[in-house]
C-alpha cells in the first residue's frame, strides 16, 4: 500500500470516526502554529519518508522493504506510550515482540541469500527503518492535528508542503532541468503520483465509509504479501521460506495491535 493509502486508513483509526463531509463553515483559518505543524508533519510523512524509502530500495529488495516499513504501527504504539504516556497493554507488547521476530526471520533469510553484499543490505534496512520511524512520527502528529483541522484539509496541505520540499531539494542538489527528461520518466512519474498516491487515498477513504476502519485495516494487510508476489513477477525477486514465515508473524503482530487499539 502507498503512503497516501496508509494515510487515510490510519487517520480513521486515530480519529475513531468515519470520514465526515465538509462545508464552507468547516473551513476555518489556520493559526500560524497550525500552519507550522502541518508543514512539519507533511514533510515528515511525504517528503522525508519517501526520500529514505527510495534510498533504501537501492540496496534492499522490494519485498523486504515492505516488511520493514510495515512495522510502523508498532513504532506508533511505542511513540504514543513514550510521548503521550498512553498505556500499552500486555497483549500489545506481545504483538510488538511477534512483529520484530518476524522481521528478523525475514531479513536474515535475505542476508543468507545475498552473502556477498551484506553491508549494503544492512544499509538499506537501516534506511527503510528510518523511513518507518519518520512515517510513524507523521502518523502520531497527524492524529493530533486532524481532529482540529479535518482530514481532507490536513491531507491537502500536508501533501502541498511535501511537494514544495521535494522541489526545493531538487533545486538545491541537482543542476539538471526538469524539462529535458525522457518521455518515459514523465509517464512513470505521473502514473506513480496518480495510481500510487492519489487514487489509493480516495479508494481507501471510500472503502472505510462502506466497511469501517477495522475491516479496512484487515484488508490492507494484503499489502506486504502483494508486494512480495509482484516483486517476484515483475522484478524476478525470489520468494523465500523465511520471507513467508516473517511476513505471517509481522502481519499477525500488526493485526493484534490494530484490533487492541480499536477495542480501547
Three-state SS for the chain is CCHHHHHHHHHHHHHCCCCCCCCHHHCCCCCHHHHHHHHHHHHHHHHHHHHHHHHHCCCCCHHHHHHHHCCHHHHHHHHHHHHHCCCCCHHHHHHHHHHHHHHHHHHHHHHHHCHHHHHHHHHHHHHHHHHHHHHHHHHHHHHHHHHHHCHHHHHHHHHHHHHHHHHHHHHHHCCCCCCCCCHHHHHHHHHHHHHHHHHHHHHHHHHHHHHCHHHHHHHHCHHHHHHHHHHHHHCCCCCCHHHHHHHHHHHHHHHHHHHHHHHC
Q: Mean per-residue pLDDT for 25-52? A: 86
Q: Does residue 218 lie within any of the structural domains?
A: yes
Q: Does residue 16 lie within any of the structural domains?
A: no
Determine the structural domain holding residue 62 and report its residue range. 31-173+182-263
Average pLDDT score, the chain: 79
pLDDT tens digits, 52-82? 999 999 988 888 888 888 888 888 888 888 8
Q: Is the pLDDT of residue 227 over 60?
A: yes
Q: Does residue 14 lie within any of the structural domains?
A: no
Closest CA to 39 of 191, 192, 204, 168: 168
The answer to whether residues 55 and 238 touch, using CB atoms and an 8 Å cutoff, is: no
Q: Does residue 136 lie within any of the structural domains?
A: yes
Q: Is the pLDDT of residue 184 over 50?
A: yes
The answer to whether residues 79 and 140 touch, using CB atoms and an 8 Å cutoff, is: yes
Per the structure, how many domains does the chain have?
1
Report the C-alpha gap between 199 and 204 in whole angstroms.
Answer: 9
The answer to whether residues 222 and 28 touch, using CB atoms and an 8 Å cutoff, is: no
Q: Does residue 5 lie within any of the structural domains?
A: no
pLDDT at position 90, please? 87
pLDDT at position 25, please? 45
Q: Does residue 1 lie within any of the structural domains?
A: no
pLDDT at position 19, please? 42
Greatest mean pLDDT among 94-108, 140-154, 204-218 lies in 94-108
Q: Does residue 129 lie within any of the structural domains?
A: yes
Q: Does residue 9 lie within any of the structural domains?
A: no
pLDDT at position 108, please? 78
| pTM as predicted | 0.76
Amino acid at each position: 500500500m502507498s503512503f497516501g493509502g496508509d494515510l487515510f486508513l490510519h487517520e480513521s483509526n486515530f480519529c475513531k470516526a468515519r470520514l465526515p463531509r465538509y462545508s464552507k463553515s468547516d473551513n476555518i483559518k489556520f493559526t500560524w502554529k497550525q500552519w507550522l505543524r502541518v508543514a512539519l508533519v507533511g514533510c515528515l510523512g511525504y517528503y522525508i519518508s519517501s526520500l529514505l524509502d527510495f534510498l533504501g530500495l537501492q540496496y534492499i529488495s522490494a519485498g523486504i522493504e515492505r516488511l520493514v516499513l510495515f512495522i510502523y504501527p508498532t513504532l506508533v504504539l511505542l511513540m504514543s506510550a513514550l510521548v503521550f504516556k498512553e498505556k500499552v497493554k500486555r497483549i500489545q507488547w506481545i504483538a510488538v515482540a511477534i512483529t520484530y521476530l518476524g522481521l528478523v526471520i525475514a531479513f536474515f533469510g535475505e542476508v543468507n541469500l545475498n552473502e556477498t553484499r551484506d553491508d549494503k543490505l544492512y544499509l538499506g534496512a537501516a534506511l527503510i527503518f528510518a523511513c518507518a520511524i519518520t512515517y510513524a512520527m507523521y502518523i502520531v502528529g497527524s492524529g493530533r492535528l486532524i481532529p482540529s483541522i479535518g482530514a481532507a484539509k490536513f491531507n491537502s496541505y500536508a501533501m502541498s508542503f511535501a511537494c514544495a520540499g521535494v522541489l526545493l531539494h531538487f533545486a538545491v542538489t541537482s543542476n539538471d532541468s526538469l524539462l529535458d527528461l525522457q518521455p518515459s520518466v514523465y509517464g512513470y512519474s505521473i502514473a506513480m503520483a496518480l495510481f500510487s498516491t492519489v487514487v489509493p487515498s480516495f479508494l481507501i477513504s471510500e472503502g472505510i465509509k462502506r466497511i469501517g476502519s477495522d475491516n479496512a485495516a484487515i484488508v490492507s494487510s494484503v499489502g506486504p504479501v502483494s508486494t512480495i508476489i509482484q516483486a517476484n513477477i515483475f522484478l524476478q525477486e525470489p520468494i523465500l521460506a523465511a520471507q513467508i514465515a516473517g511476513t505471517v508473524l509481522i502481519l499477525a503482530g500488526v493485526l493484534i495491535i490494530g484490533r487492541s487499539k480499536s477495542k480501547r
